[in-house]
Structures are given as structure tokens and as C-alpha cells.
Structure 1
Amino acid sequence: MKNPDYNPAKPHHTPDGFRNRYPHPRPDADFWQWQRERRRLKLPKPPTQDLSCIAPNLGAIHQPPALPQLTWIGHETLLLQIDGLNVLTDPVFSKRASPLPFAGPRRHQPPGLSLKQLPHIDLVLISHNHYDHLDRASVRALMRQPGGAPMFFVPLGIDRWFARNVRGTRLAGDNSNVRAFDWDDEARFGPFTAHFCAVQHWSARGLYDRNRTLWGSWALLHPHLRFWFSGDLGYSQDTRDIGARFGHFDVAAIAVGAYEPRWFMKAQHIDPAEAVQVMQDIGARQAVGIHWGTFELTDEALDQPITDLAHALKAANVPAERFLLFKHGETRVWDAAASRLVTDVTDVPKEKARPRDDSLAAQ
């Protein structure tokens, strides 16, 4: 199948899809070897720590303070609230991250916020098309939300997936609600500037569509917050490039899970030590761990990132409070004066920094 977005002037484009910006070695063995080994070793082991959701602060979520606010819903689904706008990343609310309703990775706990508990979503950022990041039922529900569909910013090729799978998709004209991005593309959305950035990963939803659609990370810049969402990534020069381009971020949501066994996962998923390096590469003042504790995808226990991240921060001489792991459903606000996310919002003014503009959903 030919790549409809193919541009021969761009090295990461190929006639039939896309490739990473920096070459990297492929694993020495294959997927089926990994599956045989994990069955033999009875992996992953069950978690020993409590990963259940906490009760969400629905009052703060539906009447957010003037400061930017971040809620971890689970896996890579985050709700960022700032300036009266609500941004959702990689929305997955289904019970399984799978094309099948009866098989595949199952949620360890329900989402920290349900679809019904969400405020009106203005903008959705999609990193790539794997089932634990692009969930058809979830995006269909968001497209039907009361008050009108959000805007979806997606990688190249996923716009056509939306057209085939999600009723209400509009790809062209002033009324479009799905916009496709190549690496280094940028767009305005209200007070935000969104930049789609290269990271090392891959895409597929079936056996014969590997790398047919693009993947990446998102830099979301606002006058009051510089935010980076990693998506999935293996460690590469890409994050150093992002740091050189943007200088710093206030808050970065960085994947810290699904990293064992390293011989197979290293090229596609960073481990906690590499996540700390990524935080330093991009100049993040505060990091939040994502892509852990929700779905059993690889060989480490769901709670292993808690221990491994703590060790990695200590080894790198980085204060533990600079790289946080939220509980499912937890909300924190950004205190710019302290350069950190805080839970105590009792002194934060309740009025929004700017009144909500529902016309943005149609941009």
C-alpha cells in the first residue's frame, strides 16, 4: 500500500509509510521468543502495592482554579486544564487495550475519571495508533460529547483512520475537527501552540500495517505552562533535539513503564532510568510518570516502576519530588513560583484565568 502522505524530501517518509529519524538496532530475537519466555517464567508477577484509584476531586475538575491543573486518568490518558480549556491525551477508557473485547491486556482498575465524569473536552492529542493509545470506543464517545465534538490533533495517517471508524469526523474546511500533523508541524488552538515532535517508536493496529501511520510526542505551549507529552518512545537523539529546540518545559508527562525484558523493549520503550535522562534532555522542571500501573503489557510487575524510578532518581542525584507518580484519579496544580505540581489548592483562586470559549471546539 502506498503512503498517501509520502514526501520524498522528508527522510522519515517512505513510499509505504514512515521510519524513525535515527536508525537503531532491532532486537536480536522475535516477539514469539519473548512470549515463550514470559510464559515459562510466569511473568509478569502480580503487583504488591495498592494501585487502585482515589476518589477524583470532581469539584476542582469541573470548577478548576486559575492555575494549570493536571489529572492522571490512567496509562497515558491525562486531563490538562488551563485557561478555561480542557485537553485530553491518548484517551483510553475501555476495559481492554485490544481489538478484541474478550482478549488482550485488561485494565487493572477502572479509569480515574469515567467518560461521564469528564468536563467538556476541547482538544484531544493522539500520540500513535497502538490500542493502548488509540481506542475506538473512547474517541467515538468523545466525538458525541454534549456541546459538540472536541478538536483532535493526530499523527499523519490517523486522520484517515478517523474517517473510516469515527462518525462525525470532518477532515476538510473551516469546520474540520480532526487535523493531521507531520513531525515539526505546529498549529494554534486558542492560547496554545501545539508542536508535533519526533520520538523513536513505531505504529501498527494489525499484522500488515506496520509504520503506515506516524507516531510522536506533543509540545503544548501556553503563556502560563510549557507542557510535553512523550507518548511511547525508545531512548534516542530525538529528546536531545527537543530540548535544544524548546529550551525547557514546566511539566513533562514521560512514559516510565512497559520496559522489560530490555533485550526486546529497549528500542521501543524507555525504562525509569532513561525516563530520568529524558527529563534532563528536554529541560523539564517537573515530570509525571505515565504508561504504567494500568495495563499489563510487558514483563515487569505493574508496580515495579515505583521502585525502579526511585532508584533511578537517586542514582542521577535528582530530587524525588521532581519526578512524580500520581495515583489513578489524582489531580495536582502547577505552582509556577515553586516550579512544582502541588496537591494543596486551598489558597488558589477558584475563578478561571479566562472564561471558556466554546467556539474553540470548532477550530
Structure 2
Amino acid sequence: MTQQSESATSTPPRTPTREAAAPSAPSRLAPPFPPLAAPRPLGERRVWPRTFHDRLTAPLPGFKTLARFAREGSVRPGPEGLADIPRLPFEPGPVPRVDARTVAVSWAGHASWVVQIGGLTVLTDPVWSRRILGTPARVTPVGVAWSALPRVDAVVISHNHYDHLDAPTLRRLPRHTPVFVPAGLAPWFRRRRFTQVTELDWWEAAELSGVRFDFVPAHHWSKRTLTDTCRSLWGGWILTAPDGQRVHFAGDTGYGHWFTRIGERYPGIDLALLPIGAYDPRWWLSDVHCDPEEAVRAAQDLGARRMAPMHWATFVLSAEPVLEPLTRVRVAWEKAGLDRRDLWDMPVGASRVLEDTHP
């Protein structure tokens, strides 16, 4: 995410002071702490605060910050940083056919995943458009053709920025598709005639066909127009199958203590889908986007068994060279002493099936 990629007036909050987060790897047998909330009713109509500004850990940028951003210029890589676009990994393949006890993920690009879990097919932040507002066209094609998708059983949305909430893509879905969204975002969907919209606050959950959808904290923000800054919430999702298999979809987030807290409350995360791109310049983006090293630390804090990088290789949103996120995340993973097989650094379009290690 960058200023240009969300709207012509959008600006992220400045870098907050972060709490130290020690790595943790909680056992699946350990009880969640604090206890998980009971699932809320699907499609529940709720009243929310007018703004979620109180969820920010730093104020929005002032004039001096905006002036520095304008003075320092580019939010895109230079010619050398763009030269590797033809080398970006793109290997489209079929979506796996799996049963209800098997978890599989397919990366369509950016933050869009096809997650098959508990017998459901769930799309995360689906963006099948070639272009989003204020940003050059995608540099890799969509990795999973819309026509190749299984029936979509549910959609989860992390926040309302244009590279995560894409109206043209969502118009392709039947309006009765269950949609899980952050607090305050349901009216956007209801205006578009979606009939099964469930909005949740952090640490709340809902359940569909035995699969649990928990909305968890992130440090980001929201905005689509001149007048709606932080009018809806932002966050990530924990998807838990009936047999306990868990996938964490982080959406957009900076690094901080919330990853440890999520890992404590949801022990035994099997796979974390974590963002590694759109991080340069750090003085501008560090509070809202992890860099590759922070994403590896986040996976450790979560206690996740595996990590799949995302939020790179699709749209050119910031100034780092296009292949740099992949190089840096591989180095950080090795330096952390983690098993190379557990870094699922997948090409756009690729799929992986999670081996069932549960009783």
C-alpha cells in the first residue's frame, strides 16, 4: 500500500513505538489465552462508533511529514529496480482438488488467496482486476483464472484500501456469498446488494459450516474517499477448520506485539500468510507494512509452523526493487535457523497442500 495506491488523499500513520515481541511457539494442546469469544450470528446488524481512530497507535501524518514525502519524491523503484519485472515468479497451475480434511492454498497474487479449508473455498481480499486506482497495472497476471475457481463459499476482507477491496472483482460473485468484513464495512457491501455480510471487531468470531472465522488485530488504517478515514476497522483473519487446522491471513500490517498476542490466543497456527512488500521508504511505511525481516519475526511470534509470503510481485506500490522482498525474506529465514521447507515462497499462481498432522 502507498499513498497513491489507496486514494489520491490517503496517508498512513507515522511510525509508532512498538513493544518488544519475543518469539513464541505455543503448543496446540495449550488452552487459548484469553478464552476465545463465542461465534456471533451470521449477518448480524450492528451499530459501530463513527470512527476507529482510537485504534491507531500514532496520529496521522501532519504537514511536515507530507512535505518530506513530497520533497523526497519517488514511491516507485528506479529503472534498475524495475528491470527484474520479467523475472518475477509466475507459475499458474490448477487449484488442487482436496477433501474436507485437507487445507490447500493457491496464490492469485498480492493478498488474494484461494484457501480451501474444512470443505470450504474462501477468497482473501480478492483482486482479479488488472489495475487498481492510482497504481500502474499489475506486473504479473492473475495467477488463478476466475473461471478455474471452485465454487466460492466465503470471502474475507482485511480492510477497505483499493488493493484489498476491489469492487469489479466482487461484482463477479453471487450476492448471497457469505462475506466476513471488519467492523463498519458492512454498509459498503449492502449497498452492492450482498445479503450475507458479517462484520466483526478484533477478537470476535463467526462460524460457517464448521469453519471458524476470527478477526484479529493488525496495525494499519482505512480510507477510500476524502471523508471516510478510519470509518471502518482493519485487521487479519484466523481460519480454523473443524479438526483444528489453522491458517492466519494477516492482510496489511506493520510489525509489533500483536503477533505474539495472536499466537497466544490461537496456538498451533499451521500456516501464516504474511506481507513482505511495499515497505520502502521505511520512515513512511514501517508502521503499516512489514519488511521481509519483520515478517519472519512475525511468523516466529505467531508460533506458525509455516509461512507463505504475499503482498509483493503483483503491484508496484513502493520504492524497493521488485525482486528484493523475495531475496530478503529467504536470507532472513535462513538467518533465523528455520527449516527451509517451511518457507512457502510460492510463485504467483502456485498452490501448496498442507499435510494433515492432526489426530
1:46 has 2:82 as partner: yes
Match of 2:215 among 196, 202, 219: 196
1:30 has 2:73 as partner: no
Segments of structure 2 that go 5 or more residues without pairing to the other structure are: 1-45
Q: Is the deviation greater in 253-262 or in 113-122? A: 113-122
* Cα offset, 1:32, TM superposition: 5.6
**Structure ranking higher on relative contact order (CA contacts 8 Å, 6+ apart):** 2
Q: Distance in 1 between matches of 2:290 and 2:345?
A: 16
The alignment-based identity, stated in percent, is 35
* Cα offset, 1:17, TM superposition: 3.1
Q: Which residue of structure 1 aligns with residue 287 of structure 2?
A: 267
Q: Which residue of structure 1 aligns with residue 186 of structure 2?
A: 159
Q: Which residue of structure 1 aligns with residue 147 of structure 2?
A: 116
Q: Distance in 2 between matches of 1:156 and 1:217?
A: 12
Q: Distance in 1 between matches of 2:103 and 2:291?
A: 28
* Cα offset, 1:104, TM superposition: 2.3
Using the size of structure 2 for normalisation, the TM-score is 0.79
Q: Which residue of structure 2 aligns with residue 64 of structure 1?
A: 98
What letter is aligned with 2:178?
Answer: M
What letter is aligned with 2:68?
Answer: Q
* Cα offset, 1:137, TM superposition: 0.7
Taking a change above 3 Å as real, the CA distance of residues 237 and 24 of structure 1, as seen in their structure-2 partners, is farther
Segments of structure 1 that go 5 or more residues without pairing to the other structure are: 7-14, 171-176, 340-363
The correspondence of residues 172-183 of structure 1 with structure 2, limited to 5 A, is: 177-183=196-202
Please say if residues 94 and 148 of structure 2, whose CA atoms lie closer than 8 Å, have aligned partners that are also in contact. Answer: no
Q: Which residue of structure 2 aligns with residue 290 of structure 1?
A: 310
The correspondence of residues 172-321 of structure 1 with structure 2, limited to 5 A, is: 177-222=196-241, 223-321=243-341
Could you give the per-residue CA deviations for residues 146-202 of structure 1, whole angstroms, max 9, x where no partner exists? xxx3210001111011122x2x322xxxxxx11111111111111211110111110
Please say if residues 220 and 252 of structure 2, whose CA atoms lie closer than 8 Å, have aligned partners that are also in contact. Answer: yes
SS of residue matched to 2:171: helix
* Cα offset, 1:51, TM superposition: 1.9
Taking a change above 3 Å as real, the CA distance of residues 19 and 303 of structure 1, as seen in their structure-2 partners, is farther
SS of residue matched to 1:143: coil
Q: Distance in 2 between matches of 1:129 and 1:322?
A: 30
Taking a change above 3 Å as real, the CA distance of residues 31 and 304 of structure 1, as seen in their structure-2 partners, is farther
Using the size of structure 1 for normalisation, the TM-score is 0.79
Structure having the larger proportion of residues in strand:
1
* Cα offset, 1:209, TM superposition: 1.4
Please say if residues 293 and 332 of structure 2, whose CA atoms lie closer than 8 Å, have aligned partners that are also in contact. Answer: yes
Taking a change above 3 Å as real, the CA distance of residues 53 and 92 of structure 1, as seen in their structure-2 partners, is same
What letter is aligned with 1:181?
Answer: L
